[in-house]
Chain A
């Protein structure tokens, strides 16, 4: 019991207490200076009429809906590619995984330079290929800014998806694939009827991870787009940050945090249920 004490104190002080306090504060008008006043559920009522937050949530959902399948497909393709028991295949595994150990912030600063108008290598490469001018600021257009962020995150995260899916694929016994081959199944049939169903638990895990990560996106947009152009790339966490730490409405920010947590909980639970149910059919 004594051995659990340090963990209990830390989790209590820096997790459970702040969690309860988030709920408590969300019922207050809570400026950073001055005294807080109880206002009931007004923060929550306000949140539902808040156009900025609504737009941020919509943008976050859009980002999640776009990046999740891309990540899944790229990760799956990489896993299928390096799924060979050879030394070279393992070298490629290692290479594709390297960006995973780089922080998202570092990756974002790197991308910021690489896509910088004029001086960045990729806009210059695009100009060479006859695809636009190197001096076009790709961060100034909502669509290209969004694409840059997506490409950066895929580069950084795909290796992790590859690794998880690969470990899932490798836990499928070889005999099962052999049996399918003997029964005359082609590559596509083996994939559709054996690999995919047996991989379902791993797919569920990868999906939940990437959806949760995308719904909480902050670093990449804060660093690369600063939420711009014209606030078009502000995510939910970004908006909560602005409300709490730029406008200093701590109570309102907490209410938004609670709402975000609820959305995240519902989405994660839905994915779990969905993947479990289709398992039974």
Chain B
């Protein structure tokens, strides 16, 4: 994996001539870039060091700039129930909801994206347009009836219900991305498969899917991040503390108990929420950025 975050064909062509030298002389460019990097990374440094300090050092006033102690006690304490709330089970809930949401979104949007790209029928353009309209309506605005609808079908305060809702919010984007991926594949490939006697679904499975993998990875990544970090929908649709996901559980820690917040514990909780995202991003950056750009720019 390269560290390239943007690699588009015309960018490579334009790049050589235009951007060896930028807006600043090289020395100044380095100074500015490094200073900005320090600013951007500083909160993450604080997060990690605060989390690995001993609870006593993490509570010290004024705070130590460099950790004097190293301890995993904060992480151990996350497993200990805090007034009926275990961050460890929140971690499990987060993982469950994110994975379930991702699987549902990927499967459903792959099927629909394929249909829109490859099996045009009367009215499919209109339907695709309708799908895109859903981008325009913020889900925050329809959260009350969502709550009532989930209640009607017995999925309110239920992690599966939450996953279905989150998957639905991510569907328009996923369908859009998958339709673009399938549209980019030459029709001759699929026709060859059809001639060999494959059905539409068979052609999708054996010929199209392997080629569409980058699109699928992009869709999966964007959905996973969105679900993992979702706050508002979880706050409203889940009413039982034991079913909270990490971002919502952390709110209980940050509200503190007996008027005191355990900052080491809270930052350890934030760390286990943040670190997986950063690691996945650094490894799969290419797909993440490609998905984001093709979804946003087109």
- A interface, CB within 8 angstroms of B: 1, 3-4, 6-7, 10-11, 13-15, 17-19, 21-22, 25, 78, 80-99, 101-107, 109-114, 116, 118-121, 124, 134, 155, 159-160, 163-164, 166-168, 170-174, 177-178, 187, 202, 205, 209, 212, 216, 218-219, 223, 237, 240-241, 244-245, 250, 253-254, 257-258, 260-261, 264-265, 268
Contact = CB atoms under 8 A, between A and B. Distances in A.
A209 to B, nearest CB: 8
B231 A103 contact: yes
A258 B267 CA distance: 37
Interface string B7-19: 0101101111111
Given A155-B40, A163-B293, A219-B231, A94 B5 contact: yes
B142 A22 contact: yes
14 contacts: A14-B146, A18-B149, A81-B23, A83-B22, A91-B3, A95-B37, A101-B281, A105-B248, A110-B270, A111-B43, A114-B46, A124-B62, A205-B296, A264-B138
B158 to A, nearest CB: 13
Contact of B145 (A17, A92, A98, A172): A17
A160 B29 CA distance: 21
A237 B231 CA distance: 13
Nearest to B282: A94
- From DSSP, what is the main secondary structure of chain B's interface residues? helix
B8 A86 contact: no
Interface of B: 3-6, 8, 10-11, 13-24, 29, 32-33, 36-37, 39-41, 43-44, 46-47, 50, 59-63, 65, 104, 107-109, 111-112, 114-116, 119, 121, 127, 131, 134, 136-138, 140-146, 148-149, 164-165, 167-168, 171-172, 175, 200-201, 225, 228-232, 236, 247-248, 250-251, 254, 263, 266-267, 269-270, 273-274, 277-278, 280-282, 285, 288-289, 292-293, 296-297
A21 B148 contact: yes
B144 A254 contact: yes
A52 B280 CA distance: 42
Contacts of A3: 111-112, 114-115, 119, 200-201
A53 to B, nearest CB: 14
B115 to A, nearest CB: 4
Nearest to B138: A216
A96 to B, nearest CB: 5
A1 B115 contact: yes
B36, B60, B136 — which one has the most chain A CB atoms within 10 A of its CB? B36
